[in-house]
Amino acid sequence: MRAAGHGRPSEVNVEHGGTGGGFPAHASWLELSASALRHNVEMFRALEAATGGGLRRMMGAVLKGNAYGHGFREMLPRVHPLVDVLYLITPQDGLAVRAFEREHGLAPRQVLVMGAIAPEEAVALAREGVDAVVADTSWREAGPVLRAARLERPLRVHVHIDTGLGREGFTLEQIPRETAFLAEHREEFELVGALSHFSNTEDVTEQEYALAQLEAFETGLHRLVTQLSPAKPPQRHIAASAASLVLPRARYDALRVGISLYGLWPSPETRLSARLVLGELPTLKPVLAWRCMSQVVKWLPAGSYVGYGCTYRCSEPTRIAVLPVGYFDGYPRLVSGKAHVLVNGRRCPVLGRVMMNHLIVDVTRATGDERPVTATLLGHDGDETVSAEAVAGWAQTIHYELVTRLGAHLKRVVVE
């Protein structure tokens, strides 16, 4: 069975990402489901309505890592209308959101750059009304640079409190002594938010460490507010996907949803906990599918070897499909000998080693002749599915790494 949308992308109802021009005849493509994305956002909104205690929390989308490999440029226009705030890592991506809004005449969304920012970049963000995370003492240097730039408005900042991840943020020991520069540069820095990040919500079903992090967050927040007495109470945010789902106490004023925006569960443990905490398991729909047309389909006689190193030998005559996908594109070499792809709704094992630009699959039973086939590397075909979790598992990694490593060069097409 062939599900809709499995043709070559030029045959399906697609909106091109902007580069124009045709598709290379032999290149894999990523299909991004706009309806799955909407479903996932609505799921979080519904969860908030049901268990949020009537508060109007902000729904935030994390678009770092090239939108978790889905494609920042393709995802931004789809995500922007659905959410209240956008979280990014680089200042360049923050400015790209403002450029996109101007180009399309859209009202500016709250945008927060969570990664490292040089003082000159901070000036550019202040001018564009993009928020910045202040996470360490290197920000002292930005104060005088911002002052010299004679800005019309201060840089809007969220202070990161390190509550136990040991990554960015001021530890409780550093607050208030090492955050004093923010008080000295009130004209340059406007405190609008405070955040932290959990270390362990995905890997466990009991949240003891997370609760300790929440206590530390409250303490740090209290110290900051006492020190800086902001005009309005700062926006508090700490929950990524897992905590948004399974730790209602951690939701505060905004959710920073990354992996689950794209329809993936943070981990099996989160899934288990969600069933317990929420009573029933919400549905997440994966946004991404990865497909290609075969480069060639042909028979190999019994006894033939397949791929580098002769690691696979056909024990019987085998109809193989050579697929134009390899580890260059983000298909991990570690899945060699373990993975399968889908052709005509059937599982087709990957034979031998994954190569730089090719992999070879057994299509003996999946097709009746040597005409080209469409292969699904990730996603549904008929009744079968290959999940990002499965491929990541074969590659001894997590789906976060698998999807963010999908090649930036791959064609991305948005489907309904």
Active site residues per annotation:
64, 308
> Using CB under 6 A, which of 30, 37, 41, 62 touches ligand PLP?
62
Cβ atoms within 10 Å, residue 384: 17
**Closer by beta carbon to ligand PLP, 163 or else 367:** 163
Q: What is the distance of C-alpha 7 from the center of its chain?
A: 26
> Using CB under 6 A, which of 122, 132, 259, 335 touches ligand PLP?
259
Minimal distance in Å, beta carbon 398 to ligand PLP? Answer: 10
Minimal distance in Å, beta carbon 201 to ligand PLP? Answer: 8
**Closer by beta carbon to ligand PLP, 241 or else 336:** 241
Q: Give the CA dihedral 342, 346, 349, 355, nearest 10 degrees.
A: -20
Three-state SS string over the chain comes to CCCCCCCCHHHCCCECCCCCCCCCCCCCEEEEEHHHHHHHHHHHHHHHHHHCCCCCCEEEEECHHHHHCCCHHHHHHHHCCCCCEEEECCHHHHHHHHHHHHHHCCCCCEEEECCCCCHHHHHHHHHHCCEEEECCHHHHHHHHHHHHCCCCCCEEEEEEECCCCCCCCECHHHCCHHHHHHHHCCCCEEEEEEECCCCCCCCCCCCHHHHHHHHHHHHHHHHHHHHHCCCCCCEEECECHHHHHHCHHHCCCEEEECHHHHCCCCCHHHHHHHHHHHCCCCCCCCCEEEEEECCEEEEECCCCEECHHHCEECCCCEEEEEECCCHHHCCCHHHCCCCEEEECCEEEEEECCCCCCCEEEECCCCCCCCCCCEEEEEEEECCEEECHHHHHHHCCCCHHHHHHCCCCCCEEEEEC
> Is residue 336 within the footprint of ligand PLP (CB under 6 A)?
no
**Closer by beta carbon to ligand PLP, 189 or else 265:** 265
For ligand PLP, which stretch binds (CB under 6 A), given 70-78, 147-155, 237-245, 311-319?
Answer: 237-245
**Closer by beta carbon to ligand PLP, 40 or else 241:** 241
User: What is the C-alpha to C-alpha distance for residues 414 and 416, in angstroms, rounded to an integer?
Assistant: 7
> Is residue 256 within the footprint of ligand PLP (CB under 6 A)?
yes
> Is residue 114 within the footprint of ligand PLP (CB under 6 A)?
yes
Minimal distance in Å, beta carbon 61 to ligand PLP? Answer: 9
**Closer by beta carbon to ligand PLP, 62 or else 224:** 62
**Closer by beta carbon to ligand PLP, 386 or else 403:** 403
- Please state the φ and ψ torsions of residue 228, each to the nearest 5 degrees: -105, -10
User: Does residue 319 have a known ligand-binding role?
Assistant: no
Minimal distance in Å, beta carbon 132 to ligand PLP? Answer: 13
Minimal distance in Å, beta carbon 385 to ligand PLP? Answer: 21
> Is residue 47 within the footprint of ligand PLP (CB under 6 A)?
no
> Which candidate, 346, 382, 337, places its Cα nearest to that of 364?
346
> Is residue 258 within the footprint of ligand PLP (CB under 6 A)?
yes
User: What is the C-alpha to C-alpha distance for residues 212 and 216, in angstroms, rounded to an integer?
Assistant: 6
User: What is the C-alpha to C-alpha distance for residues 329 and 27, in angstroms, rounded to an integer?
Assistant: 10
**Closer by beta carbon to ligand PLP, 33 or else 241:** 241
- What number of chain residues touch ligand PLP (CB under 6 A)? 13
Minimal distance in Å, beta carbon 5 to ligand PLP? Answer: 26
> Using CB under 6 A, which of 112, 257, 395, 403 touches ligand PLP?
257
Torsion sign over Cα 182, 186, 187, 192: positive
> Using CB under 6 A, which of 33, 40, 163, 241 touches ligand PLP?
241
> Is residue 266 within the footprint of ligand PLP (CB under 6 A)?
yes
Minimal distance in Å, beta carbon 88 to ligand PLP? Answer: 10
User: Does residue 293 have a known ligand-binding role?
Assistant: no
> Is residue 240 within the footprint of ligand PLP (CB under 6 A)?
yes
**117 is written with which tokens?**
């920012």
For ligand PLP, which stretch binds (CB under 6 A), given 140-148, 218-226, 258-266, 385-393?
Answer: 258-266
Minimal distance in Å, beta carbon 358 to ligand PLP? Answer: 31
> Is residue 412 within the footprint of ligand PLP (CB under 6 A)?
no
**Closer by beta carbon to ligand PLP, 62 or else 377:** 62
Q: Could you say which residues in the range 177-236 bind ligand PLP, by CB under 6 A?
A: 197
Using CB atoms, what's the residue nearest to ligand PLP? Answer: 258
Binding site for substrate, residues? 167, 356
Q: What is the contact surface with ligand PLP in residues (CB under 6 A)?
A: 62, 64, 114, 197, 240-242, 256-260, 266
**Residues annotated in the binding site, as ranges?**
167, 356
